[in-house]
């Protein structure tokens, strides 16, 4: 996948909301696959800061 200068995958102007949600879901899934423990740790830390 290509990314722009900011390292973000560019979306076409006519992308639907479902496309964004799918992309976010895939990104989260990859994060969880790679390191579930550290992901949960950072999530717990964020929740504690609120």
Is 4 within a domain? no
Is 40 within a domain? yes
Is 37 within a domain? yes
What confidence score (pLDDT) does residue 17 get? 76
What confidence score (pLDDT) does residue 10 get? 66
Is 39 within a domain? yes
Q: What is the pTM of this model?
A: 0.36
Summarised one tens digit per residue, pLDDT across range 4-43 is: 566 666 666 666 777 888 888 888 888 777 766 777 788 8
Is 6 within a domain? no
Written in H, E and C, the secondary structure of the chain is CCCCCCCCCCCCCCCCHHHHHHHHHHHHHHHHHHCHHHHHHHHHHHHHHC
Residues spanned by the domain of 24: 17-49
Q: How many domains does the chain have?
A: 1
What confidence score (pLDDT) does residue 30 get? 80
Is 9 within a domain? no
What confidence score (pLDDT) does residue 50 get? 72
């Amino acid at each position: 996948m290509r990314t722009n200068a900011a390292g973000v995958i560019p979306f076409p102007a006519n992308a639907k909301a479902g496309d964004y949600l799918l992309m976010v879901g895939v990104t989260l899934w990859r994060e969880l696959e790679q390191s579930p423990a550290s992901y949960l740790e950072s999530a717990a830390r964020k929740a504690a800061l609120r």
